[in-house]
Chains A and B, each alone.
Chain A
């Protein structure tokens, strides 16, 4: 059920981000969502893309350093309080969020939240039991 996220190691140097984004662009892959984790020395560029296999292949060929992680994605109604509700469900069930990021699409019906947790299976089970709409790889590709 979980969806795949691409993580790219980006050194804090001029131009590294250009190479990475350019490579993805040339592969004809669309970026759906992104977040960056940064430290003094490097950043980790995390992406949800339309075609992860294609993106990874292109990045590997460009000598970028990538890894794939599975994350949980949910679709929430785009209105005040939706996120608070999800976060509360997780907190009530002792599930820690390592990091998360969100995005919306042009339809504005849903807001999408990507969650990084320790146990995807348990988290997804709890979320669906509580009526939260999970997003699949297929859903993501159609957005």
Chain B
């Protein structure tokens, strides 16, 4: 019989027991962090909060928030709660200078994280005998390592492909009978397109499911991927700051992601006031890691806007569900699965001698993100032939690729042609929002 849960005792725990467990772990974790993380201790002291003030789950609202800025400020070791000798792994967010956040893991942290990913794989129908093709990037990025570890835990045959080299992905997928594909949804869509171009039918491969995350995607995209690959496509959620993918995952119902509540406590807050909102409200998702030893974050503001629901799920899991995030409250864009900050783009332009007059245009065409940057040209960029301009555009593009890891299309435009704004400049025009993609 097909396995339904990876860790049924946790995944189907009665709600009142989950809450009791979370309460116990929260009290323990706050004390642990207060004793071991000076940065957070200072934040608590500033608010006049002592670990003893936290006696039940509701008391969490007394605690200070952590934001990405805190993590940048504390870079690299400021949030570390244990001796480096106890750590076995480092991962990092995809940001570059000034934006990078590094996270540390003890062996227990890695185990917990991989368990979370294993739960996602089993929820997607994975078991011993399955061949899991991991086409997330390997390296500092958490996608590859997380699903790879989870696949091992379940006992699946793991194909550590990393991302890219689509021809090889397709060859191994078909030759080695991969049954579960893990990658970003846009890459899954691309693989589906490539299969079609090569004349493959969805039934020519053995794939049955896909676990796709690390970037926002719509229901329409899910249907396209399911059709082109002949699979069921499941969403997975996580952040490097919280360990990586697997904080929450979709079950067979494909109706929201179950949050691994035995390891994470989730709150929804009003992003403007910080006030905790009742269940069912739309607001910013805040996570507290209840078990992490090396990089334990309390009340970390994800900037993701979502809704939590405790409604009973027919899959049998009792964990609360979160909807697909429907927007971010900061300026980060996720383009083709990569985090992009306007500030990085600005830095490249200033470095090349351009004025910070630019506009970023993002859209989604045929399930792939388009990424264009308009830059006002310098007098020396223009002469009497188009190739002169094209050469300059290529130069900017190469510098952007170096900084961002992905290739934008660069368009040099006439000086003073980008609209100036009185207040905050409109730097980003993200048309994906219009078609309902959560960015």
A residues at B contact (CB < 8 Å): 5, 7, 9, 11, 37-39, 41-42, 44, 46, 63-65, 67, 69, 98-99, 116
Q: Kindly list chain B residues whose C-beta atoms are within 8 Å of the C-beta of A67.
A: 379, 382-384
Closest to A16 in B: B414
Q: Kindly list chain A residues whose C-beta atoms are within 8 Å of the C-beta of B385.
A: 37, 44, 98-99, 116
Q: A41 vs B389: C-alpha distance in the bound complex, in angstroms? A: 11
The answer to whether A65 touches B384, judged by C-beta atoms less than 8 angstroms apart, is: no
Q: Kindly list chain B residues whose C-beta atoms are within 8 Å of the C-beta of A5.
A: 384
Contact with A along B25-59 (1 / 0, CB 8 A): 00000000000000000000000000000000000
- Total CB contacts across the A-B interface at under 8 A: 41
Q: A67 vs B377: C-alpha distance in the bound complex, in angstroms? A: 13
The residue that A7 contacts in the complex, of B383, B390, B416, with Cβ under 8 A, is B383
Q: Kindly list chain B residues whose C-beta atoms are within 8 Å of the C-beta of A42.
A: 386, 389, 413
The residue that B383 contacts in the complex, of A41, A63, A69, with Cβ under 8 A, is A69
Q: A11 vs B382: C-alpha distance in the bound complex, in angstroms? A: 13
**Interface pairs (26), CB distance under 8 Å:** A5-B384, A7-B382, A7-B383, A9-B377, A37-B384, A38-B386, A39-B386, A42-B386, A42-B389, A42-B413, A44-B384, A44-B386, A46-B384, A63-B415, A63-B416, A64-B414, A65-B377, A65-B382, A65-B414, A67-B379, A67-B382, A67-B383, A67-B384, A69-B384, A116-B384, A116-B385
The residue that A37 contacts in the complex, of B377, B386, B411, with Cβ under 8 A, is B386
Contact with A along B397-425 (1 / 0, CB 8 A): 00000000000000101111100000000
Q: A63 vs B389: C-alpha distance in the bound complex, in angstroms? A: 19
Q: A39 vs B412: C-alpha distance in the bound complex, in angstroms? A: 12
Q: Kindly list chain B residues whose C-beta atoms are within 8 Å of the C-beta of A39.
A: 386, 390
Q: Kindly list chain B residues whose C-beta atoms are within 8 Å of the C-beta of A98.
A: 385
Return B217 CB to nearest CB of chain A, in Å. Answer: 29
Q: Kindly list chain B residues whose C-beta atoms are within 8 Å of the C-beta of A46.
A: 384
Q: Kindly list chain A residues whose C-beta atoms are within 8 Å of the C-beta of B411.
A: 41
The residue that B384 contacts in the complex, of A7, A38, A63, A64, with Cβ under 8 A, is A7
